[in-house]
Structures are given as C-alpha cells and as structure tokens.
Structure 1
Amino acid sequence: MRESEKLEIRKLYEEGVSISELSRRFGHDRKTIRKAIREQEQEQTDVEKRNRSKKVKGYKLEPFKSYIEQRMRIGVLNAERIFREIREQGYTGGITVLREFMHPLRPVVSAKATVRFETAPGEQAQIDLGAFSYFDTQGNRRTVWCFAMVLAYSRMLYLEFIKAADQLHILRALRNALEFFGGVPQTILSDNCSPLVVSNDGRGQVDWQPAYVDFAKYYGFVPKACKPYRSRTKGKIERPIGYIRQSFWPVSFVDLDDLNRQAAVWRDTVANVRIHGTTREQPQVRFQSETLQPLPTNRYILAQTGLRKVLNDCRISWNANLYSVPWQYVGQSVLVREFETGHLQVEYGGQVIAEHLVLPGKHLVSTNPEHVKGIPYGTPGDKRDKVPGFQIGPDVEQRELAVYEEIALGGRVQ
C-alpha cells in the first residue's frame, strides 16, 4: 500500500467513514485497513513526542539564555564551565542543548597544525606563561601572569598566578610546581622567555640564564627550549593555557592569594579529574604511573641577580627603586642580588659592599648614612673644558741696540 493511500485512508477514517466502507472503496480487506490506520496513528504520536521533547529542552534552557550570552560576551566560551554554573543556578537539562545554543554565538577560531608526540612516564614536563588581563577596583586594566606546568605523560597540571614575569617569580612558581608533583622530571621544556634564555640559534645551541642553569643543576633536570617562534612544539602546554582561559578565567578575586586559592580548587576538582581528550583518562589516575626523580632534601634559595652601575649620588637603581652603596664605588659596575627573603645585597669583586631590605613599592630610596661617611668634599672637579689660556703683550717693533742707547743719551729717534 502506498503512503499516499494510507494518508487518505487515515483522513477519511477521522471524518467518520467506517472500516468496512474503506475496505470496499480501496479494495483491501478490513485487517489491512486497520493496520494502515494504526501505522498512521503511531507515526503521528512519534512526531508529537519529538515536538514535546524539543519544547521541554528549549523551555529548560530558556531562563538561562541571557546569563549564557552575558558570560560569552566577556570571553567565557567553555560549554562545560557554563554548564556547571547554570546547574548551580537550577538548570536540570543536558549539556547537548547548551552546546547547540552556544555554537552559533561562538567567534570563528582559526586552527593551526601541530605535530603531537608522546613521552614516557617521568620523561618530560613543559612550562609556559600566559598574560591574563583584569580590571582593578578603580576600573584600571591590569595584567597578572599565569605560570602553568604539565607533566607530559599524565597531563597532571599545576598552575599559579604571579604578579610579574621575571626570573624570581618564575623560578619560585617552578619550585612550587615540583613540590606539588612531589618529584622532578628528567627534562623541562620551555619557550625562549628572557628570564630563562639569553639566546637560541634554533639549531640546538641555547645560551641559558646562569640562575636557571644553577636551579636546574640543583634539582637535577635538563632544561630544553623550543625552536624560536615555534612555541607550539611544546604542544601539551599550549593547550592547557587555553584550557585555563576557557574553563577557569575570567574570575572575580580580592587579591593574588584569593586568586590562587580559587585556582587550586579548580585544579583539584576540575582540571586534574576530568577525562582528558587525548589520553581518555583522568590526569590524577594516570599520574600514579609517573616515575619522577626525588626532590632534594632542602629547598633551593632563590635570588634575582643583575649588574648595575653606581651613580654619582652613591646609589644604584633596582626595580624602580634606589639603594645606597659606599661612595668609593661611584662609577663602578656592581652585582645586585635580591633574595626571596626580602633582602638585597650589592657585591663588588666577590665581596658584599652593601645590604638593604627590599623596598615594597616603586620610586623609593633606601639610604645607609655610613655609605656617604667620609666622602671628601671640595675635591677638585673634572677639569675637562677648563684649560687656562695665556695673556700676551702687544706686538713691539724690534730695533738695533744703538737706537736705544741714543734715546738714553737724550737723542731723537729717526
């Protein structure tokens, strides 16, 4: 029986035509007519159910659509994160409907090709920094830096927000990461940021910052750098930085400590317990198979170092502040060390010539009166451009001696 015939039978039956009459009109027995009617009724029922299902799904998400759009406008594009947020607000629907709603609202993202590689347990970790902007309480746009480290085998993640992307803060976060993992991988891969790398010729010759080399020797790992302008060769860390932006950021926070408390909760309850898209395992479960080297007994004491020239006013400039040194070293280049304990030392020729407490702000001055004690005042200054001239008499005509004798005797000069 054709579908068009079934539709006509169903229509006539709804209008009151009996099954016997339909059997006579269409030339089918009554059993066939009843089957055609039931099939049409079942198909209509299925359509109504599907429509009701779509209506229910749309209805459940409807109260949350304005919130979702608002979150997407400020850069929250991760569906799983928004799903968690609206579930806390009472949403009882599924994530599929949410993804369908978010899909046309997403910006177009261009993809880059990346060669992925896998490493053995304990073989490698990768680190990177990402700049995250926020508005302070006065509405000024500021930047905080996120240090991220991931173990290449398990994808176990550590993150820490730091106020500056300098050597001292990066190495402090790296030390915290090693202590969080409870061990040290064989190699640590980074990009070519200046606090760690002086230069990289792209052919395997890397000139490392001495402080980072010393740190690596102490903890027993081999530092490696990706090729210049090819940070995507790190692969596994580039994705976690983006994942942090989508799944955790932006957030509201009081200060840096509050921000890192929130980050630690997200790390332990979301990032390291999710099913990873590549390994198809939870990072914290896979982490049990990592074979990391043991940590040293004592913590590495961190210090930021740099060369500075002593100014004429017996001071050196360090991190936008001024610190005094003994006047005898004016014009000399000295080595400055800022320790994480908050102390600052100035060295010359391997000897400590000045010590200060690190100033808490900027454009401040720390002065030790002993540093200018005995400075010689009235010392002759620089005599450049002060060479004396010579005064000479007027030109005098040269004459014979006899002329002067005649003048002396009262004669006249001809």
Structure 2
Amino acid sequence: MKGWNMFAEIKGLKKLGLNKSQIKRELNIDYKTVDKYWDMPPDRYAQLVKEAKSRRKKIDEYKDEILEWLRDFRDISAAQIYDWLRERYGKLNFKERSLRHYISDLRKEFNIPKVATERQYEAVDELPMGYQAQVDMGQIWLKNNYGGKTKVYCFSMVLAHSRYKYVLWSERPFTTATFIDAHNKAFDYFGGMPVKIVYDQDRILTVSENNGDIIYTEGFQNYIDIMKYKVRLCRAFDPESKGKIEAVVKFAKYNFANHRTIDISSLNEDCLKWLDRTGNGKIHETTKKIPAEVFPLEKEHLAPISNSFEKISSDNSLTYSVRKDNTVFYKQVRYQVPKGTYKPGKEVKLKTNDTHVDILDIETDEIIISHRISTKKGDLVKIIHPEREIHKTVDDMYEKA
C-alpha cells in the first residue's frame, strides 16, 4: 500500500492530462501501481487501506518474535520467517505476501538491512511426467548443542515435471553406501523412480569417497545397473542441470535449515514436515502450481521400485539414526528401541518385509527389536514384550508375535 499521498499525486497528475507512462516517470514508481489506482475511487482506496491495517494488526502479534529473528539472523528471508511461524503456530490468518511487506517496513524502521544475492538460470522446455529427476548436494554450518558449529551435508532429489522434492541431511560426508541409501529413501518417498537422473558433476565429485568420484565407484555403478535408470552428468554451464530446476539444496538450506540447532534425527524429521508444509506445499514460482498437487499425476508415471530394492542388497537393509527418545523414524512412524540404545550419532539398520520392520545393530547385524509395520503417519509403535528385544532371531519373534 503506497499511501494517500501517492494516491492523490496519481489522481492529480491524471487530471492534468498526463498518461500512465508519464506519471510513472514523474513519480518514479512502477507502472503497475499507476495502473492499479488509475480508475480507483477514493472510497475503494480507503477500504484497501483499512484492510491493510487489519492485516498488519494480525501480524503485529508476532512483531517481537520477528524482530528478534531479523536481528539475530540478518540474512533471513521473509519466506523462512513465514515458514517458522507456520511451524510454531500452524495455520496463519495472513498471507506470505503481507508478511513480506511487513518485514520490509520493519527493516526500514529498525535499520536492519538485508544483502540479497542473485543466481542466474536459463529457461528450458518442460519434461514429461516421470521422465527425469535431478540430484543435488550441498553443505551448511549449523549451531550445535555445545555452543559451536557443525557442518552438515545435504542430499536432494527433485522430480523435474512436478518439482516434488525429497531432502536428506547427514552429519558425515556422503560415501557410496550412504549415497545409495539416500537414493533408496528418495525413491521410497516418491513411491517410484524416474527414467533418468541428472547429476551435477561438479558437486558429485566433491563428496567424500577416496577424495570424491562416487559416481564412478564400482558400488554405485552396480546400483545403477540394478535399478536400471539412465544417468546424465552435467556441468555448471549445462541448462539441463542448472536451468531446469531451482537450486533445491539452496532452498532447503536457507528456507529450512539455516539458523537451526543441529540434531540430525530431529533435523530429518522436521525436514519431512517442512517438505509437506513448504518445500512441496507452496506454489512454485515458475510453474505457478503446487508440487504436492501435481505429484499424484506424475507418480503414476514413475517406474516401480519394490523388486529392484530386493535385489540391491543381500540383506535388503537401510540405515537410520536413533533419536534421543530411543525411537527410529521410518516412513513418518516412530518405532521404539530399547532404552539406552541412543548415543550421539548412533545408527541402526532396518530390514522390512510385508508385515514387519526389523531394527538391527549396524556393526553386528544382531536384531535389536522387531515391530509390526504401522501405516498410520505420526504413530508411535512401542515395545510390548521385553523378551523380544535383543539377540532374538527373526523367526523366533514372528513365532511369538
């Protein structure tokens, strides 16, 4: 809202016979602003001013919190603040655009400038559903519980047509094994896999596996051969890797992860909620569509993965972190493990079949606990019989279940 003075100046210059382009230059304002108020009567403008004040009053409830974030994190975006408010308070009674204007005013009023950076992209044609995904990787320093900072590593995969995303965080650089595991989790999240995956060669070669070159290891080549998807390696200048899709890792780093305190288990759990809420839940700036609404159509065109999963590893296992509350978070369900299992950085392996999920020690392959699979999102599956907890075979447990 530009204010009554601007509105009056536009009307005054119009009466003098100036056209819209002349008024734009005279007042040094956007042409759309002139056009918006050109035929608007004063009573309608007064109503808009009243509505704007009402929206501002709603946001004022969060003013102190917003100011604290702006002062603590000078580079924070309005989009991230809007997401944080939604994360804390649920549905908000104002739009992100209103908050963006509100924050712009706060920055001016309290002299909290923000330095913006621009990244260039090249527009290319849309791709068919289910045809292509892009993998990107990155890293960011986050605060830890000891007052210092810890580097965490990010893996992302995004479907090119719907822009539906998956993001995974790790406290350690990705190796061939964890890189493959990240792919498995992404395919599991999507419920299928694309025909082709595009990799940014400059980034893939920087991950930690004998100084890089994960894409060329025998283990990963075997994975590609078994999963039977096509691979394309691209450099920074290639529009297929740089222009087709927005920088998903950058989006995840600075809209979700930035300014958080690291706990890798909760970071990944919160990231799944962020994907539902924002990463896949907001209108995409290029397509003008919500990825979560387009994805169900694209999912029908993805290749099935269940048979490939059984072939990819002799023990058909995936690696997961143990959370502080002694649970393992799998497919948005918490599975309880025995008290004392958790240690900082503790990981376990999961083996699944149609009815059960087995949680195993990652070093000894001994079964820690077996649970019946729950399909209810947010469910907590507790340990019922302590005698089933440790050093039991799968067959023993299933006979007693």
Give the TM-score category using the shorter length: 0.5 to 0.7
Letter in 2 for 1:244: A
Paired residues in the alignment total 261
C-alpha distance in 2, partners of 1:82/1:123?
A: 33
Counterpart in 1 of 2:59?
61
TM-score where L is the length of structure 1: 0.53
Counterpart in 1 of 2:89?
88
Counterpart in 2 of 1:12?
none
Q: Deviation at 1:263?
A: 0.9
The one-character-per-residue Cα deviations of 1:85-143 (angstroms, maximum 9, x if unpaired) are: 17829975554442113235432323424233321111111011121211211111111
Letter in 2 for 1:264: L
The one-character-per-residue Cα deviations of 1:183-213 (angstroms, maximum 9, x if unpaired) are: 221111111222599999xxxxx98332221
The one-character-per-residue Cα deviations of 1:284-309 (angstroms, maximum 9, x if unpaired) are: 33222321222115052399xxxxxx
The one-character-per-residue Cα deviations of 1:245-285 (angstroms, maximum 9, x if unpaired) are: 34322364563111111111222233223332222333233
Q: 2:312 aligns with which of 293, 300, 311?
A: 300
Q: Relative to 1, partners in 2 of residues 1:155 and 1:299: Cα closer, same or farther, differing over 3 Å?
A: farther
Counterpart in 1 of 2:230?
222
The one-character-per-residue Cα deviations of 1:343-381 (angstroms, maximum 9, x if unpaired) are: 79xxxxxxxxxxxxxxxxxxxxxxxxxxxxxxxxxxxxx
C-alpha distance in 1, partners of 2:309/2:91?
A: 50
Q: Relative to 1, partners in 2 of residues 1:116 and 1:139: Cα closer, same or farther, differing over 3 Å?
A: farther
C-alpha distance in 2, partners of 1:52/1:225?
A: 54
Counterpart in 1 of 2:268?
260
Counterpart in 2 of 1:178?
187
Contact 1:80 1:95 in 2 (8 A): no
* Bigger radius of gyration: 1
Once the two structures are overlaid, the 10-residue window that deviates more, 293-302 or 163-172, is 293-302
C-alpha distance in 1, partners of 2:194/2:90?
A: 42
Q: 1:108 and 2:116 equivalent? A: yes
Q: Relative to 1, partners in 2 of residues 1:120 and 1:55: Cα closer, same or farther, differing over 3 Å?
A: closer
Contact 1:125 1:185 in 2 (8 A): yes
Counterpart in 2 of 1:150?
158
Letter in 2 for 1:213: Q
Letter in 2 for 1:281: K
Helix, strand or coil: the match of 1:248?
A: helix
C-alpha distance in 1, partners of 2:245/2:311?
A: 25
Alignment of 1:185-196 (within 5 A): 185-192=194-201, 193-194=204-205, 195=207
Counterpart in 1 of 2:167?
159
Letter in 2 for 1:66: D
TM-score where L is the length of structure 2: 0.55
Contact 1:197 1:207 in 2 (8 A): no
Q: Relative to 1, partners in 2 of residues 1:289 and 1:66: Cα closer, same or farther, differing over 3 Å?
A: same
Q: Deviation at 1:67?
A: 2.1
C-alpha distance in 2, partners of 1:282/1:91?
A: 18
C-alpha distance in 2, partners of 1:90/1:286?
A: 22
Letter in 1 for 2:303: Q
Counterpart in 1 of 2:386?
none
Q: 1:342 and 2:342 equivalent? A: no
C-alpha distance in 1, partners of 2:42/2:296?
A: 55
Counterpart in 1 of 2:68?
70
Q: 2:294 aligns with which of 286, 309, 312?
A: 286
Q: 1:243 aligns with which of 251, 271, 286?
A: 251
Q: 1:126 and 2:134 equivalent? A: yes
Helix, strand or coil: the match of 2:310?
A: coil
Counterpart in 1 of 2:372?
none
Alignment of 1:321-360 (within 5 A): 341-342=362-363
The one-character-per-residue Cα deviations of 1:23-64 (angstroms, maximum 9, x if unpaired) are: xxxxxxxxxxxxxxxxxxxx9877876665555454443453
Letter in 2 for 1:118: E
Counterpart in 2 of 1:276?
284
Q: Deviation at 1:155?
A: 1.1
Q: Relative to 1, partners in 2 of residues 1:234 and 1:64: Cα closer, same or farther, differing over 3 Å?
A: same
C-alpha distance in 2, partners of 1:63/1:264?
A: 28
Contact 1:122 1:185 in 2 (8 A): yes
Alignment of 1:396-411 (within 5 A): none
Counterpart in 1 of 2:353?
none
C-alpha distance in 2, partners of 1:261/1:61?
A: 28
Contact 2:256 2:274 in 1 (8 A): yes
Q: Relative to 1, partners in 2 of residues 1:117 and 1:210: Cα closer, same or farther, differing over 3 Å?
A: farther
Q: Percent identity?
A: 21
Letter in 2 for 1:176: K
Calculate the aligned-residue CA RMSD, in Å: 3.8
Contact 1:171 1:302 in 2 (8 A): no
Helix, strand or coil: the match of 1:173?
A: helix
Contact 2:158 2:165 in 1 (8 A): yes
Letter in 2 for 1:64: Y
Q: Deviation at 1:237?
A: 4.7
